[in-house]
Amino acid sequence: MAGQPTYERLALAISNSALAQDTAAALRDAHDWVPQEEAEAVVALGGDGFMLQTLHKMLDSGRILPVYGVNRGTMGFLMNKHRPKGALVERVNRSRPVAVAPLRMEAVTQDGEHRIECALNEVSLLRETRQTAKIEILVDGKTRIEELVADGVLVATPAGSTAYNLSANGPILPLDSQLLALTPISAFRPRRWRGAILPDRAKVTFRINEPSKRPVAAVADQKEVRDVAEVHVEIARDSELTLLFDKGHALDDRIVAEQFVV
């Protein structure tokens, strides 16, 4: 593809699964792999969970590289197919880049602690006990739901719209839609509210009502903050990530295809 960079210094990121370890052993002599701190791009061997872990490490370190995933897990929604006979380095350099912007969550606990975490799939608020959560929802500073009584609520990116969001009956969002899904989780009141689709420039705030009686945890992908009082969520435009996909198997194609799965 004209104008597409050629990656010569590649690093391997390998999950702990036996399948990923065996694949890595077979690839050791296929390329002069370099440490990740010297690389131009990363080849990640594992499943979707490992891909998220790899991307989160980049966000935490501040050194963000393009990542080409090879599925050695289960679903592999964020990964490319493993082809034992294919020339992996050539596939990486023929791949199509897809930009993914994560969410930034700022959670304030009942004790006043502030935690900032990023999420590639979703930020979810979940009740911690048998008591339903009571949550006020504000969009761009304006109250839209005075009190959602539910197991929780989530904000999902287009990349994450086919994950937990879809399981909670949220909408599938095309990757280039510049939208966010705001989806209730097992809502009791208001019964007829099924969520909202928001522009990705929106800033969403959740305020917990009766937090001591009805404690709520906030989860950014896999990172949990318990006993929150207030949570702010918005797109982290300064932390955009790049995933590399084989032509015809890109994430945006998969998101469209997922809408026709029956």
The catalytic residue positions are: 48
φ and ψ at residue 140, rounded to 5 degrees: 50, 40
Is residue 117 within 8 Å of residue 105, measured between CB atoms?
yes
φ and ψ at residue 257, rounded to 5 degrees: -65, -35
Sheet containing strand 41-46, strands side by side: 10-14, 41-46, 67-71, 241-245, 96-100
For the chain, how big is the Rg over CA atoms in Å? Answer: 20
**Beta partners for residue 150, in sequence order:** 133, 187
Under DSSP, is residue 179 helix (H, G, I), strand (E, B) or coil? strand
Residues 6+ apart with CB under 8 A from 242: 64, 65, 66, 67, 97, 98, 99, 100
